[in-house]
C-alpha cells in the first residue's frame, strides 16, 4: 500500500486530527486521486500538489517563482475529470513540500482567477485603513487564469495547507507589550550588542514564563487550510466540509460586475488572518 509523501502527509495529518474518515488513493473511475474524504455530510476528494517554488534574489529583493499551473493541467486535470464523472466535489490542495518558502495563498488566487488587486476598507476621511481587517478582501481584474466561468468548473475549491504553532500568538502579544524599544541611532557597536543581548534575555524570560504557565509551547505544530471556493463550481464544496478550528474559508462576492473574494469564516483558534 503506497503511503502519502510531502504535502500529502500534512493533509493526512489534518484529516486525522479532525477525525474525518478518509482513504488514500481510492480508485475513482480509472484514476487514484490522493484522498477520498467520507465526511458525515458527503464525500469529497482532495488532490495534493507540491509546486516547486524558487526564490531569486534581485536588486528589489527576493522574488518567488511559483509553479502553480501544473495544479490544473496534465495528470492533475485527469484526476479532476475522473472525480467530476463520479459526481463528487474536487478540492485541489497546494503544499510546500518542494518550496523554498511557504506557499502564498494570494499568489494561488492570482493563478486561479487572474491578476488581483487588494480592496482596502476606507476610513471616514477616505484614507485606506491599515488594520488587519482591511486586508480581508480582494478585488480581481481580468487577466490570465486557470479558473473562470468557462474553465475548470469541476474544481470545487483550492486550498493551501501549512502547519503553524497555535500558541505563537501568546508569545507575540506578550513581547509586543513588553519589549525594550529600539537602540539609539547613535549607539556604538558595543552599546548595540549590549542592547541586543538584554533584549534576547528579556525574550527568553518571557517565553520561559509562558511555557511554565502552560499557555505557550514552542514545539507544537498543527495543520490548517486556507480554502478558496470556486464561484463557478459545478459541484460547490459546502463551507462546513473543511471548517476546522484553525482553518480559513475564503469565499466569493461581486461588486460592479467583478468577482472578488473575502474571508467568510475562520476557526475559533485560527489566529490572525493572512492571505
- Per-residue pLDDT of 82-138, as tens digits, reads 999 999 999 999 887 655 556 666 667 766 776 555 444 433 333 333 333 333 455
**Residue 14 lies inside a defined structural domain of this protein:** yes
Q: The cell 466540509 sits on which residue?
A: 241
pLDDT for residue 68: 66
Return d(Cα 24, Cα 36) in angstroms, integer.
7
Q: Please, are residues 184 and 118 in contact by the beta-carbon 8 Å criterion? A: no
19 in the same domain as 143: yes
pLDDT for residue 66: 53
Please give the residue that has the higher pLDDT: either 193 or 225: 225
Tell me the whole-structure pTM to 2 decimals: 0.76
Residues 6+ away with beta carbon under 8 Å from 170: 210, 215, 216
- Per-residue pLDDT of 200-219, as tens digits, reads 888 888 899 999 989 889 89
Parent domain of 18:
7-166+220-266
| CA 81 to chain centroid | 25
Q: What is the mean pLDDT of residues 181-185?
A: 64
Looking at the DSSP bridge assignments, the partners of residue 36 are: 23, 45
**Residue 273 lies inside a defined structural domain of this protein:** no
Q: The cell 465526511 sits on which residue?
A: 39
pLDDT over 70, % of the chain: 68
237 in the same domain as 208: no
Q: The cell 488587486 sits on which residue?
A: 117
79 in the same domain as 153: yes
250 in the same domain as 124: yes
Number of domains in the chain: 2
pLDDT for residue 119: 46
What letters, b where the CB count within 10 A reaches 16 and e where it falls short, cover 221-244?
ebbbbbbbbbbbbebebeeebbbb
pLDDT for residue 99: 53
pLDDT for residue 136: 47
Q: What is the mean pLDDT of the chain?
A: 77
Indicate if the pLDDT at residue 26 is higher than 90.
yes
The set of long-range contacts for 120-123, using a CB threshold of 8 Å and a minimum separation of 24, is none
Q: What is the mean pLDDT of residues 177-187?
A: 65
Q: How many CA atoms lie within 13 A of 205 on its CB side?
A: 8
What Rg, from alpha-carbon coordinates, does the chain have?
21
129 in the same domain as 52: yes
Return d(Cα 13, Cα 69) in angstroms, integer.
26
- Per-residue pLDDT of 71-81, as tens digits, reads 777 888 899 99
Amino acid at each position: 500500500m503506497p503511503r502519502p509523501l510531502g504535502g500529502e502527509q500534512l493533509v493526512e495529518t489534518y484529516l486525522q486530527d479532525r477525525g474525518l474518515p478518509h482513504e488514500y488513493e481510492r480508485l475513482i473511475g480509472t484514476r487514484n486521486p490522493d484522498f477520498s474524504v467520507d465526511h458525515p455530510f458527503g464525500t469529497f476528494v482532495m488532490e495534493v500538489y507540491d509546486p516547486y517554488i524558487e526564490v531569486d534574489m534581485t536588486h528589489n529583493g527576493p522574488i518567488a517563482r511559483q509553479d502553480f499551473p501544473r495544479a490544473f493541467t496534465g495528470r492533475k486535470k485527469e484526476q479532476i475529470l475522473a472525480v467530476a464523472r463520479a459526481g463528487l466535489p474536487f478540492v485541489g490542495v497546494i503544499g510546500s513540500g518542494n518550496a523554498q518558502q511557504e506557499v502564498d495563498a494570494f499568489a494561488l488566487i492570482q493563478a486561479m482567477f487572474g491578476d488581483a488587486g487588494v480592496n482596502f476598507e476606507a476610513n471616514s476621511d477616505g484614507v485606506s485603513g491599515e488594520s488587519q481587517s482591511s486586508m480581508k478582501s480582494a478585488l480581481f481584474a481580468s487577466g490570465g487564469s486557470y479558473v473562470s466561468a468557462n474553465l475548470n468548473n469541476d474544481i470545487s475549491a483550492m486550498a493551501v495547507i501549512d502547519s503553524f504553532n497555535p500558541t505563537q500568538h501568546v508569545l507575540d502579544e506578550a513581547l509586543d507589550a513588553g519589549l525594550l524599544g529600539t537602540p539609539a541611532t547613535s549607539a556604538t557597536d558595543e552599546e548595540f550588542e549590549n542592547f541586543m543581548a538584554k533584549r534576547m534575555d528579556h525574550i527568553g524570560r518571557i517565553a520561559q514564563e509562558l511555557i511554565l504557565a502552560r499557555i505557550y509551547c514552542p514545539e507544537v505544530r498543527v495543520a490548517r487550510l486556507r480554502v478558496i471556493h470556486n464561484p463557478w463550481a459545478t459541484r460547490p464544496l459546502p463551507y462546513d466540509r473543511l471548517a476546522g478550528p484553525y482553518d480559513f474559508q475564503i469565499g466569493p462576492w461581486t461588486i460592479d460586475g467583478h468577482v472578488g473574494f473575502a474571508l467568510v469564516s475562520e476557526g475559533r483558534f485560527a489566529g490572525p488572518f493572512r492571505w
